[in-house]
Amino acid sequence: MKEGGKWLILSAIISMATLGGIYYYFSRNNNITNPIAVKVMVLEKDTVENVINDTGIVQLGEQQILKSPLEGGIVEQVLVQTGDNIRSNQLLLILRDARRQMALSQQPLEIEKQRVKIDRSQKQELEASQQLNSAKQELQSLKSTEAKINQEELQLFRNQEKIQEFTQLINTAKLELNDFKKLQEQGAIPVREVRTKEEQILNLQSQQKDAQVAVKTNRLVIKQLKTELQSQKQELSDAIFQAQAQLQDIKLSTNQERLELKRLQLELKTIEEESKTPLIQSTINGRILDISIKVGDVTKLGDPLLTIGEPSMELVKVELSPLEAKGIEIDQTARVTTIGANSQTFNGKVKQIADLAIASDSSGETNTNKINNSSPATVTVTVKLDQLNGNLIPGSQVDVKFLIDQRQDVVTLNREIIQSSGKETFVWIKNQKDQVEKRQVTLGLEGLTSVEVRSGLSFGEQVILPSSELKLKPGIPIIVQK
């Protein structure tokens, strides 16, 4: 074989091997020979709604529960029946308050007892006042002792002056005695004059000692008088303080008893007013929806008596969380649907949103004062139906949807169809080559089950419904399952 022919055969073999490798690669990675079966959804115009779902209770306009104003009231007469139409201020039932009648007979006795207490306190107040005045008078009488002390202090001063005077006289006399003795030794004067001077000195010294004794006596008397005065002042001050405190306590007690007398007198007037037979009247023009009592029943304060409402208006009360209530506005559209077979849907508008979130206790009663409640706080939203139905039973439960936002005639997808990888959001679609194509999408309004697609898809395109069994990749051939 020629050399050129060998090269042609070798080139053909290499080309066939290369084409076989390419074919194997694509068939291996793209399943060209084995298309996978998928289910698809054809995109059509649809509507996406963002709603808040909850349940509510049907009520009539101005629906209210008339409650017992009495503790221990006895139902004497019920003047209406369930379903009766009523007018404002119409008499509905009569309660009799037996306990008030008993209290009315006992209250005058309590008032008289209180007056006796006040008389006793006034006598104690007079005695305490007299004791206080007596102690003050005794304190005033101590001024005479203070005068004695002043006299003794003056006498002490005078005696101290005498001692100084005698000291000067004695010193002068002693000098003169020395001079007399010198003169007597010289024979200038007789001896008797020296003796006379000596006697004079002795007399002055005796008087000086008397003055010194008087000073000691004055000091002892002053000390004793001051001690007695201080002791008496302390005793009388303590007595005055105790008398003032006792008098203050008695006055305070007397004032409290006077206030208690006034309270009892006011309570008597209140009892007299409340002991009148209470007449329960209607507050609206409406209808009797329920009667909770019967003749002879004994009621507690706040017990429900009758439920009334205005049938020309149908409302639905919904309890929402504070977070949900923030998304609700007055006049916002709401859909009300009855629960059960043959359910009906009615349109309405938000009429009122409560300004205060209220928690319910275990009994179902609302309570705004408790901090720790078993139930979370909710906000009451009132929906008024656009048209009067007449078939909704007050007190029945209904489903309520508040329409927060809506997009009509837009491309929508169910949430489970949308895929994500990192920040990328995409879906798998069937392209014109019957292959898998990865398409990035931009999402818009999100509803409960569906989401608006703002960009990336168009009406009429076929979106592949993903499943855990499918391993989708771009370019894979597919066939649509029927």
- pLDDT by position in tens, the chain (length 482): 445 445 555 555 555 555 445 444 444 444 445 889 899 889 988 888 888 888 999 988 889 999 998 888 889 899 999 989 999 999 999 888 767 767 777 888 888 998 998 998 888 888 888 888 888 887 777 777 788 889 888 998 998 999 999 899 999 989 988 988 888 888 888 888 889 988 998 999 999 999 899 999 999 988 988 888 888 878 888 888 888 888 888 889 889 989 999 998 888 888 777 666 778 899 999 999 999 999 989 899 899 999 999 988 889 999 998 888 888 889 988 989 988 888 888 889 999 999 898 886 545 555 554 455 567 889 999 999 988 877 788 888 999 988 888 888 899 998 888 988 888 999 999 999 999 999 999 999 988 888 999 998 889 899 989 888 888 889 999 998 87
What's the start-to-end Cα distance of the chain, in Å? 60
**Would you state the pLDDT for residue 31?**
43
Contacts of 120 (CB under 8 A, 6+ apart): none
> What pLDDT is attached to residue 305?
93
CA atoms within 13 A on the CB side of 49: 11
Q: Residue 77 CB: number of other CB atoms within 10 A? A: 14
Give CATH for domain 103-274. 1.10.287
pLDDT of residue 101: 64
Q: Which residues, other chains included, contact 169 with Cβ-Cβ below 8 Å and sequence gap of 6+?
A: 204
* Cα 225 from chain centre: 66
Smallest Cα–Cα separation from 114: which of 270, 267, 244?
Answer: 267
pLDDT at 415: 86
CB atoms within 10 A of CB 387: 9
- How far is 246 from 238, CA to CA, in rounded Å? 12
Q: In a 10 Å sphere around its CB, with 0-12 CB exposed, 13-18 middle and 19+ buried, how is residue 104 labelled?
A: middle
Report the candidate in 469, 467, 450 with the shortest Cα–Cα distance to residue 46.
450
> How many other CB atoms are there within 10 angstroms of residue 353's CB atom?
16
Q: What is the pTM of this model?
A: 0.49
Domain 35-49+408-480, CATH: 2.40.420.20
In the structure encoding, which two tokens stand for residue 404, read together?
A: 């927060």
With 0-12 CB in 10 A as exposed, 13-18 as middle and 19+ as buried, what is 175?
exposed
Q: Report the interhelical angle of 191-274 vs 98-141 (nearest 10°).
A: 170
- Residue 84 confidence (pLDDT): 92
